[in-house]
Amino acid sequence: MQWKKTPKPLKENVERLSEMLNVPKTIATLLAQRGIEDFDSAKDFFRPKWSHLHDPFLMQDMEDAVIRIQSSISNGEGIMVFGDYDVDGTTSVSLMTSYLKDKIATVHPYIPDRYSEGYGISRKGIEKARSEGISLIIALDCGINAIEQVNYAKEMGIDFIICDHHLPKAKIPKAVAVLNPKRSDCSYPYKELCGCGIGFKLIQALQIKLGLPELELSPYIDLVAIAIAADIVPMVGENRTLTFLGIKQFQEHPRPGLNFFLKNLNRPLNVTDLVFVIAPRINAAGRMDHGLNAVELLMSTDKESALPIARAIEFFNTERKTTDERITKEALQQIKLNQESNNNSTVVFHPSWHKGVIGIVASRLIEHYYRPTVVLTKSGDIIAGSVRSVSGFNVYNALEACKDSIIQFGGHKYAAGLTINPEQLDEFRLAFENYTKEHILPEQRELSVTYDLDVGFRDLNLKILRILNQMSPFGPKNMLPIFVTHQCMDAGGSRIVGKDKTHLRLDLIDSSGGRFSGIGFGLGHNLSEVKKQKPFSVLYTLEENQYNGNTNLQLKIKNLKF
């Protein structure tokens, strides 16, 4: 693993900020690295609030969208709320359906089947809307490139409002409204909203137009926080405000269905819980069964109705974990048997692999072989695949270069999907490997981590941690601070721990005489080096450890350098 250090801010800026805010220089440095250099920006950063949200009518087509929905309300029309089967899509559908159900005669939530319909707006969904007498479809987290589908719906007398955050192409669909801050003609000041975030801006605009209090939208904002966390969009600006308010709503009024997954949580909820506990279970519904199960769970208003759905989704998640672990083992064995360990890319295929988990498997393979990865399986008469990349390498460009060997593909820089004909498999494998070999840079071949500060153990204390916690919610562009301490040595108590003896419990002292304990998951193999009584460097984050009623600071070790 490469360690890269965040550039140091100007010393005078740090000193001024430290004095102005009355915080240690360690904290002032972290804030300055995040572009916070005065009292007002620090106040907004530490205290996000509703008034920080932008006017939704700054978004291109927002007025048209609101007028069309108001017309539906006045005329008693039915609306279909259409969303993708992942977390962003299902939270979006839950949010919009919940908001409209008391205002519209008929609101029909629709999630396409992952296997029979695939990603995005489907003809089957449009035909379902026609059969139900629905004249307006609100599409969330999809639709920005659905030109043919929107035209097809128009022929049937069905209008579309599209709320999408994916990058538009040169032409956009001829919908009543296309809400997407990434449109070249959209002057909305924040460009990085997820699909559910754009859906929230739409109900915020409706709330304003209907003359209703904005704070009545609080019950929906937890769904936006879940989507932001799961979609790994930047955790700055409006996203950070929405997540902060959403987590607060979640803590004060947890949804009955989601509470089932967090019943053993004995500390305040954070983004990590949304990413690693809530999101995989919502995704599991669409991966192993149907995304509408997740919508039903998210919209459940009482424990009795939520419990059986939550239990079913927990079962789907367990099945998903078992399936992706098995397929990962099979894929690793395939790489080994085919003697492809030294390739520049990974392309693996088996006709029986579960289509719902191949994206997860691709990510797991990158943990073993750090390189662009494609996992393929049979889907009807064709082969479908998921693509994942490494830091800095654009797999969308790679697929564009291989398009002669592909039926179709879509996605972005780090994740994509594709379909190919069975007879194209060997040709695609070779083309993808050749492109990667020619374009991947030496630094993209090795996992890297960027850390914030070099510190001595004496610089760290519980006060620092308490202020660090107030810098949350953490995510891309506002990551949990990572520190490095050099000249560390074993203080005598370092040992291997855990059922399978793979984790490392460190007892460390540094050159300043400061002493800390830390835990390094999966780092047990380093114990012999640690015990050599030679200085080494430690890369870590800080966390609170509570034991026997006492609270102290401990290091969560990410990597060691000897």
- Given 1.10.490.10, 3.10.310.30, 3.40.1190.20, 3.40.50.300, which CATH number is that of 338-445? 3.10.310.30
- Label the pairing between strands 515-520 and 536-547: unpaired
* pLDDT tens per residue across span 513-546: 999 999 999 999 999 999 998 999 999 999 988 7
Position 341 confidence tier, pLDDT thresholds 50, 70, 90: confident
Which residue, 540, 556, 501, 491, is CA-closest to 524?
501
- Which residue, 518, 521, 561, is CA-closest to 541? 518
Query: How does the average pLDDT of the chain come out, rounded?
Result: 94
- Please tell me whether residue 142 adopts helix, strand or coil conformation: coil
Asked whether the predicted pLDDT for residue 265 surpasses 90, the reply is: no
Comma-separated ranges of CATH 3.90.1640.30 domains in the chain? 56-306
pLDDT at residue 1, rounded to an integer: 87
The amino acid occupying position 118 is G
pLDDT at 552 (0 to 100): 86
**Average pLDDT of 180-187?**
96
Parts of the chain belonging to CATH 3.10.310.30:
338-445
141: Cα separation from own chain's centroid: 13
The per-residue pLDDT for range 111-143, each reduced to its tens digit, is 998 888 888 899 999 999 999 999 999 999 999
pLDDT of 548 > 80? The answer is no
Q: Is the pLDDT of residue 549 over 80?
A: no
pLDDT at 131: 95
Does residue 555 have a pLDDT over 80?
yes
Both tokens assigned to 473:
């919610």
Q: Label residue 263 by pLDDT band (50, 70, 90).
A: confident
What would the mean pLDDT of 240-266 be, rounded to a whole number?
92
pLDDT bracket for residue 16 (50, 70, 90): very high
pLDDT band at 232 (very low <50, low <70, confident <90, very high): confident
- Report the candidate in 202, 171, 174 with the shortest Cα–Cα distance to residue 59: 202
Residues spanned by CATH 2.40.50.140 within the chain? Answer: 449-561
d(CA 391, CA 447): 8
Amino acid at residue number 101: K
At 21-65, the pLDDT tens digits run 999 999 999 999 999 989 999 999 999 999 999 999 999 999 999
The pLDDT assigned to 106 comes to 92
DSSP letters for 161-206: EEE--SPP-SS----SEEE-TTSTT---S-----HHHHHHHHHHHH
Q: How far is CA 128 from CA 112, 267, 399, in A?
A: 11, 44, 33
Helix (H, G, I), strand (E, B) or coil at 151: helix
Question: Half-sphere exposure of 471 toward its Cβ, with a 13 Å CA cutoff?
Answer: 22
pLDDT in tens, 391-448: 999 999 999 999 999 998 887 889 999 999 999 999 999 999 999 999 999 999 999 9
Question: What is the mean pLDDT of the segment spanning 503-507?
Answer: 96
Query: What confidence score (pLDDT) does residue 554 get?
Result: 94
CA distance 202 to 177: 11
Q: Which CATH number fits domain 449-561: 2.40.50.140, 3.30.70.20, 2.40.10.120, 1.10.3720.10?
A: 2.40.50.140
Q: Note the pTM of the prediction, 2 decimals.
A: 0.91
- pLDDT of amino acid 392: 92
- State residue 76's pLDDT score: 92
Task: Give me the pLDDT at residue 88, please.
Answer: 95
Q: Where are the alpha helices (DSSP H) in 2-61?
A: 11-21, 25-33, 39-46
- The domain made up of 56-306 has a fold known as inorganic pyrophosphatase (n-terminal core) (3.90.1640)
Mean pLDDT of 361-370: 96
pLDDT value of residue 114: 83
Q: How many angstroms from the chain centroid is the CA of residue 7?
A: 26
pLDDT band per the 50, 70, 90 thresholds, residue 337 = very high
- Supply the pLDDT for residue 118: 80
Query: Closest Cα partner for 365 from 384, 396, 343, 394?
Result: 343
CA distance 467 to 373: 39
Query: pLDDT per residue over 401-411, tens digit each?
Result: 999 999 988 87
